[in-house]
Amino acid sequence: MSQLIDKVEAANLKSDLPSFAIGDTVDVHTRILEGDKERTQIFSGTVIARAGRGTRTMFTVRRIVAGEGVERKFPLHSPRIARIEVKRSGIVRRAKLYYLRDRVGKSVRLRERRAAAAD
Amino acid sequence: MAKGILGRKVGMTQLFDESGKALSVTVIQAGPCHVLQIRTPERDGYSAVQVGFLDKPRRLARRSERGHVAKLNSKRVKNRSAAGVELPPKADCEPQRFVREFRGSAEGFTVGQKITVADLADVKAVDIAGITKGRGYSGAMKRHNFSGQRASHGVKKVHRHMGGTGALAAWRGGGRPKKGKCMPGQYGNSRVTVRNLRVARIDAENNLLMVLGAVPGPAGGMLIIQQTNKVG
């Protein structure tokens, strides 16, 4: 039965997604319609969670705007998401970084995974 | 008969439309169905089309079920055909697991014909009937969306109770509940029809029908799907 669901979802899955992990700092390019015009908006921040599977996969990006924490949840496979760019990857030991919500200032930083270390 | 088909609920998921909007859809494995019998007013007193869905292993099917879908090589059949009795036409398929009738004129249907989901291609919306999940003996809050009672202010051990039932004098003079009063009782495990579900997508290759919204029953539950009779 669930194989049938996978078949249905297969057509809606994106194949060109970059691989990003929890703790990465990403730029999410979203398409926004304003009247007839379409423009791209960028939301950049740290990926703190990823949930669901198939077309229902959502990921949460957190950033600090003017001293206030802002989180946005995106459907990973939505056509409205034009591009996801990985800016830097952080070293984390959990799948959900909800502990960042209780932190401010310097303690929000994550250790960076260097390219050499990743290899 | 209105366009109809039998199916099985696969589950729910989310798809994206052209504008990027997420649609909540229920995926239904619909058909292919065999037409097993045509009911006629002369023979049966009403007209309908009997269809079957999903094959059943022959070892699990009764002899009558096997004889219903295909010609049996029995003594009776031989004797009857020898006596010149014309036997009813058979679909000549495996015994069917789920057999239901669609009422209405059987025009354009013949026994043995296959109904597939592609036949619903021009249907905009469907009515879907299924057996809901059984919830057992449930209280008034769950069964009828009553509000229950307060958590405090003197309420004692009756927080999920339904309150008074029959004190209002306008109904039967008071002292007795109004007829049909909503109360706790068996909830679920009943046939429910959800009407006017819009068809989101049809996948004829995999025999899948996708409708917007939820349908009754668990994943794997059997469903009766018909073109909606709602106007407009």
Q: What are the pLDDT digits (tens) for A55-79? A: 888 999 998 888 888 999 999 888 8
What is the nearest CA distance from A82 to chain B, expressed in angstroms?
A: 11
A57 touches chain B (CB under 8 A): no
What value of ipTM does the predicted structure carry? 0.74
User: Under a CB-based contact definition with an 8 Å cutoff, are residues B25 and B127 in contact?
Assistant: no
Note the pLDDT of residue A115.
Answer: 60
Task: Please give the C-alpha separations between residue B212 and each of A109, B2, B219, in angstroms, as whole numbers.
Answer: 43, 20, 16
- Three-state SS string over chain A comes to CHHHHHHHHHCCCCCCCCCCCCCCEEEEEEEEEECCEEEEEEEEEEEEEEECCHHHCEEEEEEEECCEEEEEEEECCCCCEEEEEEEECEECCCCCCHHHHHCCHHHHCCEECCHHHHC
DSSP B7-30: EEEEEEEEEE-TTS-EEEEEEEEE
Q: Which of 2.60.120.650, 3.40.50.300, 1.10.490.10, 2.40.30.10 is the CATH number of B1-31+122-134+188-232? A: 2.40.30.10
Which residues in chain A are closer than 8 Å to B16, comparing Cβ atoms?
A: 12, 55, 75, 77-79
DSSP B149-175: --SSTT--S-TT-----S--TTTTTSS
A3 touches chain B (CB under 8 A): no
CATH of domain B33-115: 3.30.160.810
B214 touches chain A (CB under 8 A): no
DSSP state at residue B1: -
Note the pLDDT of residue A118.
Answer: 45
Tens-level pLDDT at each residue, chain B (232 residues): 668 899 999 999 988 888 888 889 999 999 789 999 888 888 889 999 999 998 889 889 888 888 888 888 888 888 888 888 888 888 888 899 999 999 888 788 888 888 888 888 888 899 999 999 999 999 999 999 999 989 999 888 999 998 887 776 677 777 778 888 889 999 999 999 999 999 988 988 889 999 999 999 999 999 999 998 888 6
Note the pLDDT of residue A61.
Answer: 93
Confidence band of A6 (pLDDT split at 50, 70, 90): confident
E strand intervals along B57-184: 96-103, 114-115, 125-131, 136-138
Note the pLDDT of residue B1.
Answer: 63
CA distance B142 to B134: 12
Note the pLDDT of residue A117.
Answer: 47
User: Under a CB-based contact definition with an 8 Å cutoff, are residues B131 and B190 in contact?
Assistant: yes
Place of tokens 């057996």: B131
Residue in A closest to B18 by C-alpha: A79
Note the pLDDT of residue B106.
Answer: 79
Confidence band of A105 (pLDDT split at 50, 70, 90): confident
Note the pLDDT of residue A119.
Answer: 42
According to DSSP, the residues that pair with B51 across neighbouring strands are B35, B100
User: Under a CB-based contact definition with an 8 Å cutoff, are residues B15 and B25 in contact?
Assistant: yes
Domain ranges of chain B: 1-31+122-134+188-232, 33-115, 136-186
**Residue predicted with more confidence, B127 or A6:** B127
Residue in B closest to A33 by C-alpha: B19
